[in-house]
């Protein structure tokens, strides 16, 4: 039997534990996002800008709806491309004072 945290386990053994659901969600999301990968540089710059202005990555994750892990991978340069959806969501995150403008 496939281990927990795999889509195989989710699909073929109908396991709905947190790990398996997470694996399934991640895969579905990746599939939906296959419409295109974009250069992650603007996203990284945005994350740096937000951090320098007191908006922590955890907060960006909350606001954008993306996991802290995916944002980290971009922030520290490990990931050079990201989905167009992620870029859109992160670039839409505003620092508190920006929403007033």
Contact residues toward Zn ion (CB under 5 A) are: 4, 15, 17, 20
On whether the CB atoms of residues 53 and 95 are closer than 8 A, the answer is yes
Among residues 16 and 94, whose Cβ is nearest to Zn ion? 16
Q: What is the CA radius of gyration of the chain?
A: 16
Q: Give the residue among 70, 6, 100, 99 at the shortest CA–CA distance from 90.
A: 70
What is the smallest separation between the CB atom of 28 and Zn ion, expressed in angstroms? 16
Smallest gap from residue 9 Cβ to Zn ion (A): 5
Name the residue nearer to Zn ion (CB basis): 4 or 68. Answer: 4
As measured in angstroms, the least distance from the Cβ of 48 to Zn ion is 37
Our CB check for Zn ion shows the closer of 17 and 91 to be 17
CB 32 within 8 A of CB 20: no
Query: Is the Cβ–Cβ distance between 9 and 20 less than 8 Å?
Result: yes
């Amino acid at each position: 039997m496939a281990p927990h945290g795999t889509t195989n386990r989710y699909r073929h053994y109908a396991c709905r534990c947190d790990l398996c659901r997470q694996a399934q969600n991640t895969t579905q999301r990746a599939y939906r996002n296959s419409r295109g990968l974009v250069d992650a540089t603007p996203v990284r710059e945005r994350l740096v800008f937000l951090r320098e202005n007191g908006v922590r990555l955890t907060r960006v994750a909350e606001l954008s709806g993306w996991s802290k892990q995916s944002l980290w991978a971009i922030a520290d340069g490990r990931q050079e491309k990201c989905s167009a959806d992620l870029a859109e969501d992160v670039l839409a995150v505003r620092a508190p004072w920006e929403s007033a403008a």
